[in-house]
Chains A and B, each alone.
Chain A
Amino acid sequence: MSSRDNILGRIRTALKDDPPLERPAAPEVWPRENPPTEQMVGRFTQELEALAGEIHRCASMEDARAKLAELLSRLDQTTIGAIDHPLTRELAAELPADRIDWGASGADVPTMAGWAASVVPADCLLADTGTCMVACATTHERLMCYLTPVCVVIAQTDRLFEHLPAAWEELAGRIADPELRGEYVFISGPSRTADIEKILILGVHGPKRLVVLLVG
């Protein structure tokens, strides 16, 4: 008998006399209020700023490009990394090609750790928690969320949801689809710790700054 058989056998023996329980439906965590987009933008901004995140509302992608250029001009290092996605491609369209690494170079982790910033696209945004939900299936994509000192998230207002349950149908569908990869990182503010005397410090391991460029 393998350990698997032994463990499952013990579980079955322990449960054999139990009456079957009805499978609980997914509970409604928060009621759906379907607030207008502007209200969600306001809430998202308030929540993200409370988490020490930064947000720039951009009327257009052109605006977002200008904001990114301004942001990058103040960083020490020149190279940035990015998750390869139509949204990030559009954002970085005017950056010199040698300034941005899309993951094809095969740069190793120490090299990536030296990059000034990363640019990642948010699949969804959650207004009530100030959360950016980033789909990232590859190592490069995941590292872009944690490795650089500044993480820039590009997002569109039409991807704002009032709360996690409202976004969940879409996410759950993607995660349940065997043809798709369902890895996600939900980011709510910059990396933080309060492990020393419960004093909050930002950027203990991951980005010290989280900047959201919200277009639309």
Chain B
Amino acid sequence: MSDENPPLEGAAFLKDKTKGLYEPAGSKALGESAERSTKQNREIAAGIPQWERWRAAAGQIKAFAIANLDKLLVEFEKNITARGATVLYAENAEEANRHVLDIAREHGVRSVVKSKSMVTEEMELNHKLEAVGVRAVETDLGEYLVQLAGQRPTHIVTPALHLSAEDVGELFAEKLGEPFTAEHQKLTDIARRHLREEFVAADMGVSGVNFAIADTGTFCVVENEGNAGLSTSTPPIHVVLMGVEKVIPSIEHLPIFLNLLGRSGTGQKLTTYTHLFHGATPGKKLYIIIIDNGRTNALADPAARMSLFCIRCGACLNACPVYRRVGGWAYGWVYPGPIGSVLTPHLVGLDKAGTLPFASSLCGVCNEVCPVQIDIPHQLVHLRRRAVNEPSPMRSLRQRVIWQAWSWAMAGPKRYRMAMGMARLGVRMAKYWPWHFWELGAWTRGRELPKVPDRPAFRDWWRKNGSQLKPEKPQTPDEPSR
């Protein structure tokens, strides 16, 4: 991992207060691009009369799949094993890495080509492979760029959104010895040429899974570049990393997800390539590694289960006003944006990522655009409640005292009046106080305090003048209006 990467401790911009509002040279581009994507999503949804029915149906299928996860996993395992695959289970990233390294060792693997897989980001698989001398190359162009730059993806669908063409030209000049260019076609051709060499030399290909289909033992991978196709067909070994939640009941349920995923992810009706794998290709080895890595934590909390419906389209990232401003790295781990704020605390623990559920304005737009109707705002509120009651960076005696005092003050008219009087006094006195003090500083640093109006408070005004105001007699239907 690069030193530039933030440590895994939740939303850095919350931890470091306003200091953390950063994204390397890209926040404007990222924000604009995310905004365009959301606009496109809305136009697509508006053009399909049954869009809401699709979302509801997809949500129901996912709910059924999660409610029957144990049975569907066993069914998938049985069916794909019958077609020559080897299925392994991993409780955590460490065990999953161990499986991959064992496979690599057994087959004498020296180089690996990888197509985009968020689960392998969770595992930091590339670093583990490189640590034992196995060359691991990301082949999705965006992932390749961030790997060359020693960075983390900033978006789950478009990982190098923060890099300009000039950045990429400089990167290729520095890392690949290519003459500098900032032309998109030439840059893409350079990547194609270098990655072709990797594809043809690779001993093992690694991919993720978009959907695993229980009743046929099929798994589906979608992409646009063709790198997943090449990564899974050029080398003699194909290793598949799949989270437990990827399974759906039947092949007949796949079309609705394909229709939703392309449209929500990239605005396409279908992605350029949709691959259906159906067991080991003759003459090749196929390993499926099914990973928990914290997903059963979400399952064990019924109020949080819905987060496992996610199909990783990235629509909620694009729509989120917080993500657009702070970018992907600020979330501190693999999954950024609203879904990251919901998933990460389950996957790594509230003690490490307890601040993330607070990284939201709860505007609800993430729920509105989610193709499987995950109620992210309520998931966030639920996690906030847990974060202040369970071991987490957000559990604080001071905060608890403050909010209990606030709750007490708001619970009766006299107390409320007294609190408002104190607030007015506090605002008037604030200019004589040391500025940005205590925890309030995180809020006041970027804001100006409102001016207290010179006129009396409404309650005082009402006490004085209210009795002089007589309400008009309400009209009855029998009385003609004048």
Contacts and interface: CB of A to CB of B under 8 A. Distances in A.
B67 to A, nearest CB: 5
B191 interface: yes
Contact of A164 (B141, B229, B255, B282): B255
Contacts of B70: 8, 11-12, 15
Nearest to B229: A146
B188 A11 contact: no
Interface in B365-402: none
Contact of A195 (B141, B249, B250): B141
Interface stretch (B265-273, B331-339, B419-427): B265-273
Interface stretch (B7-15, B192-200, B350-358, B406-414): B192-200
Interface stretch (B104-112, B159-167, B439-447, B452-460): B159-167
Interface in A86-143: 109-110, 113, 126, 128-129, 131, 137-139, 142-143
B141 A196 contact: yes
A193 to B, nearest CB: 5
A107 to B, nearest CB: 12
B281 interface: yes
A137 B234 CA distance: 14
Interface residues of A, number: 71
Interface in A191-205: 191-199, 201, 203-205
Interface stretch (A33-41, A62-70, A72-80, A170-178): A170-178
A163 to B, nearest CB: 9
A192 B281 contact: no
B53 interface: yes
Interface string B253-274: 1111011000000101111111
A207 B227 CA distance: 11
B429 interface: no
Contact of B229 (A20, A22, A145): A145
Interface string A152-188: 0000000000001100100010011010011111111
Interface in A23-58: 23-24, 26-27, 29-30, 47, 51
B284 interface: yes
Contacts of A165: 255
Nearest to A147: B230
Contacts of B296: 7, 10-11, 14
A206 interface: yes
Nearest to B91: A3
Given A11-B69, A191-B272, A196-B165, A185 B185 contact: no
A92 to B, nearest CB: 22
B195 A7 contact: no
Given A3-B90, A29-B259, A182-B218, A137 B195 contact: no
**Top 5 A-B residue pairs of the complex, sorted by shortest distance between their CB atoms:** A206-B226, A195-B142, A27-B57, A26-B252, A186-B274
Given A183-B278, A186-B274, A204-B141, 18 more contacts: A4-B89, A7-B89, A10-B299, A14-B296, A15-B69, A22-B64, A24-B64, A139-B284, A168-B254, A175-B276, A176-B215, A185-B275, A192-B272, A194-B158, A196-B145, A198-B33, A203-B188, A205-B196
15 contacts: A15-B68, A20-B67, A26-B255, A27-B57, A30-B50, A138-B281, A142-B229, A147-B230, A164-B255, A182-B218, A186-B273, A190-B272, A195-B141, A204-B225, A206-B229
